[in-house]
Amino acid sequence: MVAFLGMGLLGSNFVRAMINKGMQVQVWNRTHSRAAAMEAYGAKAFENVADAVKGADRVHITLKDDASVDEVLAAASAGLKPGAIIIDHTTTSTEGAIQRTQAWKERGFIYQHAPVFMGPQNALESTGTMLVSGDQAVTAQLEPELSKLTGKVMNFGPEPGKAAGIKLIGNLFLVTFTAGLSDTLSLAKGLNIQLSEVTTLFDSWNPGAMLPARLKRMTSGNYSEPSWELNMARKDTQLFLNAAEQNGAHLAIIPAIAKEMDRWIAKGQGSQDWNIIAKDNIPA
């Protein structure tokens, strides 16, 4: 039997998927009505979080942040079964994941951080990606059951908190990607280019397919044979900015990129490949 704490869009669909797989699930949510709603699917809802975890071999959590995880686990601790394993799917800081791993170990429990790249529909369909790291004996024990909740479990090795860091990197990319698309749509609107025309462009030309090659080029350390000179990329970026200003389009991301380009041009790197703007940021 398992307990699940946090009945948001992701947590509630995780629970529905678990029930569909024949599991008994006890649920809790700060707003009790959300937990109670899960009884229609076969879950058992509790108003008290300590009661919700009683008898559970696994306690899954999907909450908001470090503070909420710490608060809810502290309240639940009185009901935890000896030997219960806490599996936290919340996106948190790396420091928080490391601290909780150690703190719960000292109390005689296993805390496994397992953040996800999954939307609510993925949780319901058991598709998407789940990340783990830490004690490899623990991850080996949990991976078979975690893999039933998702399409893929990615193990990033023995370092606690590494999965949390990878999750933050992925989410940062999603945020910047979406903000970049927002700028793209804003400029299209200002230039009176229809949404259907933007869609036609990206249906035929998929820049996302360039990501692996772009990452390799950015991190190669060789920027002396440009496919697009930084000076030329900056010229085009100014065209974006000018067109936006002339047509009343708001760009959120491009002005910051222009500033970074200017910084590298001022360092005498204008004739280099424009990917040089990543040079100082490459991990060892």
CB neighbours (10 Å) of residue 6?
26
- Please, what's the b/e burial string for 145-166 (b: 16 or more CB within 10 A of its CB; e: otherwise)? ebeebbeebebbeeebbbbbbb
Active-site residue identified among 105, 167, 189, 279: 167
- In this structure, which topology does domain 2-158 adopt according to CATH? Rossmann fold (3.40.50)
Q: Is 167 a catalytic residue?
A: yes
Domain ranges of the chain: 2-158, 166-278
Maximum separation of any 2 CA atoms in the chain, in Å: 66
Tokens of 31: 């707003």
The phi and psi torsions of 168 (rounded to 5 degrees) equal -65, -40
Q: Given this model, what pLDDT does residue 284 score?
A: 83
Instruction: Return per-residue pLDDT of the chain as tens, 284 residues.
Output: 999 999 999 999 999 999 999 999 999 999 999 999 999 999 999 999 999 999 999 999 999 999 999 999 999 999 999 999 999 999 999 999 999 999 999 999 999 999 999 999 999 999 999 999 999 999 999 999 999 999 899 999 999 999 999 999 999 999 999 999 999 999 999 999 999 999 999 999 999 999 999 999 999 999 999 999 999 999 999 999 999 999 999 999 999 999 999 999 999 999 999 999 999 999 98
In the CATH scheme, what is the homologous superfamily, with its name and number, of domain 166-278?
N-(1-d-carboxylethyl)-l-norvaline Dehydrogenase; domain 2 (1.10.1040.10)
